[in-house]
A and B are shown apart, each in its own frame.
Chain A
Amino acid sequence: MTYLSDVAALGRKDLRVELRGRDTLPAMLLFVLSALVVFHFAIPDDAGDTAAYGLLWVAIVFTALLGLARAWVPEQEHGVLEGLLLAPCDRSAIWLGKALATLAFLLASQAVALPAFVLFFEPLDMTALAGVLLADVGICAVGSLMSAMAAAGRARELLLPLLFLPLAIPLIVGGVGSAVSPDGERFLLFLLLYDAVFAVLSWASFEYVVTE
């Protein structure tokens, strides 16, 4: 039980920092809306209906990257991470709290982006929405770890997309598949598998990434 309350406290801390500072979420919202408008001009009229779904996924992944790049900045700036590492809690709780907070930001940005997508482009069915949700979990699980890794490097903003995008390719396959394939459940299962495998890996390996 203490593990869960640690996670909740850490996640709440991130949300509160965001509420007070408003650094990340407005940027993500604006970015995803601008991206959708850019896509309207980027797709030729005869490109077919399904092309928009692909671009939606590009927008989702890059919006997530924007949020992830900021994820560990508060910890870096004020030496918070050292404090957290000294705290008597399991290190993986830090990762889980961060992943959940990032998930909350991502979901909040999608609460605006998905209706906008439906308005501008194509409708989304339940399978597609479930695909978005499952992929979000994977993005935040893997992304929080990669972001913590990149934060230690010299060029952290450059490094994160490089580390993250090859790992995100299966998520994009699953997400686009769940939106366009007539047999979308298969892709949901695949996303579930991805989430399970990589969440466990990230959970188990976070401690090695942050400790000196």
Chain B
Amino acid sequence: MKRLLTQHLRVMRVAFTRIFNPPLAGLLNTLVIGIALSLPAGMYVLLQNAQGLVLQLSGTPQISVFMSMDSRADDIETLRKSLAQNSAIEHLEFVPKDQALQQLKQSTGLADVIGGLEKNPLPDAYIVRPKSGTAQVLDNLRTEIAKLPKVELAQLDSAWAYKLEALLKFANLAVLILASLLSLALIAITFNTIRLQILTQRDEIEVSKLIGASDGFIRRPFLYFGALQGLLGGCTAYGIVSISLLLLNHPLANLSQLYASQFALNPLGLADGLSLLLFSLYLGWLGAWLSVARHLNQIEPH
């Protein structure tokens, strides 16, 4: 058992030194694999974040009810009563036009432009939080509210979220296809690297076979080579994705502030990161295995 372990450790060390010999070739290979993997991994993270956002938004649908500009105080009160009677509505909040203007001034930085306006262009509004329901039920409620007197416009705020959700499903599939293609590319890269390795080690393989090396013994360093290279590529991809997210988060914070929200991209989670590393390790191993199975038999001692 101990003997087997030391043997494997030795082979792992040999494989590691071979990856970086010459160093530039090893670095380039690792980088290529890393970039190839970081594309689908990065898109996956973005999608995960977008999905979280959509869930958050569509989970608490709102209907903004904008009143016509000529509404007076008693119109506002009448509308409040009729909305309050509606059993499908859970919560009701009134936003007077002055308050809306203040909010707009604070959050958008357009204070100068707004200050130059002669009168408030914003209407009085109600924000209605309906009891949760399907997209269809919510849409019916919206139509109902829109027919009430002095209502200029009733807008279902989460309508876009439902559309986005459908779009994200489509994007998910696209990422899956991209990931499959790039995985194939990774296998191909490893296959070729191992082929070259086998050619360089040709003498060693031949001599080893002549002095009694089993196929497993000869195969082992190449399999370790592929798996290690895949793993290093996976680590690189993890690094690329994490750093990119960090870089993106700063301008994104500014952007989300403009939309009066606090949104930051979540990094690649522990489980997802681990899956990425294991998957890249497996792909490297697979590429090496295919290459070894294809090329090793061609070297027979004479």
Tell me if chain B binds chain A: no
Q: B residues within 8 Å of A by Cβ? A: none
